[in-house]
Structure 1
Amino acid sequence: MTIAKLIDQFEAWAPPQWQESWDNCGWQIEPGILGASAHVLVCLTPTLAVMEEAIALRASGTPINLIFAHHPLIFSPLKSVQTGTPIGDMVLLSFTHGIGVYSAHTNFDQVPDGTADVLAQLLDLQQPQPITPTRPGIGYGRVGVMPEAPSLKQVLVTIQQQLAPPDLLYSPEADLQQPIHRLAVLGGSGASFIGDVVKSGADAYLTSDCKFHQFQEARDRGLVLIDAGHYATERPACARLVDKLLSLGAETAQLSDRDEDFRQFWQRPHLA
């Protein structure tokens, strides 16, 4: 299948028109590859490290010609494209090596088997529904029933096992033994949805990039807020994207191993 047909198939499932007004889904760089057979490298964030990985794969015999990313490469309007800048160097390498960059962001967040659905499945949410519906049956986040109402501690252990975040933050006054009947999940930066999560009747909410006052707001509204980090809450959906692109007809598709969390937690040394 050609890249053009693959993108058409994908966009029929997750239309770019569903993106938020501030977003930039779709082609980021298209260096004249639409008629080529689709060989895809999937990643969370399209960085120079991922582009270098794609180039190395080509050199070793895997003909990668498309980086399919969740996060856009370009958000703000560009005023110039220059070498020595991340976007400028990505554009240069893209055209030099014939490797395009495409993004599915807030459109992929909403659909079945998108970022929220994958989290719901990993945590075994039953009867999941969108936290914030946008269209019939789809929307941002998922909220559902936790089988057998595990304790908050058990939920945190399951999140650690399934997502392997480098660290977990949660509301400090929460009782680790309290049962969690309903859990809400939203991959990436989801603190702005706290109001809708409270209305959904969730006992706890898993998301990322939460600030000090958002933890305060959640506490004051009787919600346990859990922050597992942006990378950990969205990276699992990238693996699902590989499966989706293969099912749509990509010749090959594989997951990048050069994706980065961009954060490292300092391990405080034990003082004698």
Structure 2
Amino acid sequence: MKIAELITWVENWANPAWQESWDNCGWQIEPGVLSQPARVLVCLTPTLAVMTEAIALNANLIFAHHPLIFSPLKSLKSGDAIAEVVNLAYRHQIGVYTAHTNFDQVEDGTADVLAQLLDLQQVTPVVPTQSGLGYGRVGDLHPGLSLEDLLKIIQFHLNPPDLIYFTANNYPKSITRVAVLGGSGASYISAVVKTGAQAYLTSDCKFHQFQESRDRGLILIDAGHYATERPACDRLVAKFKSLQLEWVQLSQQDEDFRCFYKSGSP
């Protein structure tokens, strides 16, 4: 399958027209590779490290969730990370394509994969955007789980370096309804409360958002941005493999680069 054919398939599934007004989905860099057989490196964020990896693996397309370019560029200077990525992309003929908020909404997108990992049933979007699609997912657990068991399942599937949670006042001993949203989902707390969810798995939550959730009777669980979105990248690799691409792989240089201090560490 050629790169142009792959992108057509992607855009029929996750239409860039569905993106938010502030977003920048679609081609970030297209250095004339559309007619080439697709050799794809999938990642969460198209960093300089990922570009270097793509060069070493002879990939010709980096397919990323996060855009390389969010704001209009005023200049490209040697030594700037984006400038270096652009320079290497053109020198080595590697395209960079992004599916971001359009990918969040679809089947097998960021939220859908989290719901599947937790084995949620009767799943619906937290905020519907079009028929059957939308931001976040909410569903039921059969049977219900204790908070401790739910946290263990999240830790097992997502392996976050740090798992933060805040229990609601008088939280239920058996949790039967859970909402999920990959990436920064704190702005959806009010929408989640309306779904009747007892617990909400997302990331990038601030202190006062934990406090708000506690006061509104919602157990808020923050597993980190990387951990809540990386599983969807893995699923994307599987979908691309089903298309019989010449080559596709999940990036090994696309990592959560933060360090978490633990008492007793050097």
Which TM class, normalised by the smaller chain length?
A: over 0.9
Q: 1:225 aligns with which of 196, 220, 232?
A: 220
Q: 1:246 aligns with which of 241, 244, 263?
A: 241
Contact 1:242–1:253 under 8 Å retained in 2: yes
Once the two structures are superposed, what CA deviation does each residue of 1:222-268 show, in whole Å capped at 9, x if it has no partner? 00000000000000000111122223442211100001213111011
Pairwise CA distance, 1:176: 8.0
Cross-structure match for 1:142: 137
Identity rate, percent: 67
User: Could you tell which deviates more after superposition, 44-53 or 255-264?
Assistant: 255-264
Counting matched residue pairs gives 265
Contact 1:153–1:176 under 8 Å retained in 2: no
User: Could you tell which deviates more after superposition, 176-185 or 45-54?
Assistant: 176-185
Which of the two has greater strand per residue? 2
Pairwise CA distance, 1:172: 4.9
Contact 1:183–1:204 under 8 Å retained in 2: yes
Once the two structures are superposed, what CA deviation does each residue of 1:142-198 show, in whole Å capped at 9, x if it has no partner? 000011111011000000001000111111566787211100000000000001100
Map 1:103-142 onto structure 2 (within 5 A): 103-142=98-137
Contact 1:71–1:105 under 8 Å retained in 2: yes
Distance in 1 of aligned mates of 2:153 and 2:113? 14
Contact 1:153–1:177 under 8 Å retained in 2: no
After the TM superposition, which segments of 4 or more aligned residues of structure 1 sit over 4 Å from their partners? 172-177
Q: 2:174 aligns with which of 179, 201, 213?
A: 179
Contact 2:138–2:177 under 8 Å retained in 1: yes
Cross-structure match for 1:18: 18
Contact 2:3–2:33 under 8 Å retained in 1: yes
Q: CA, structure 1 residues 132+177, in 2 after alignment: closer, same or farther (shift >3 Å)?
A: closer
Contact 2:60–2:95 under 8 Å retained in 1: yes
Distance in 2 of aligned mates of 1:18 and 1:172? 34
Give secondary structure in 1 for the equivalent of 2:108.
Answer: coil
Map 1:50-129 onto structure 2 (within 5 A): 50-58=50-58, 64-129=59-124
Matched AA of 1:29? I
Q: CA, structure 1 residues 225+192, in 2 after alignment: closer, same or farther (shift >3 Å)?
A: same
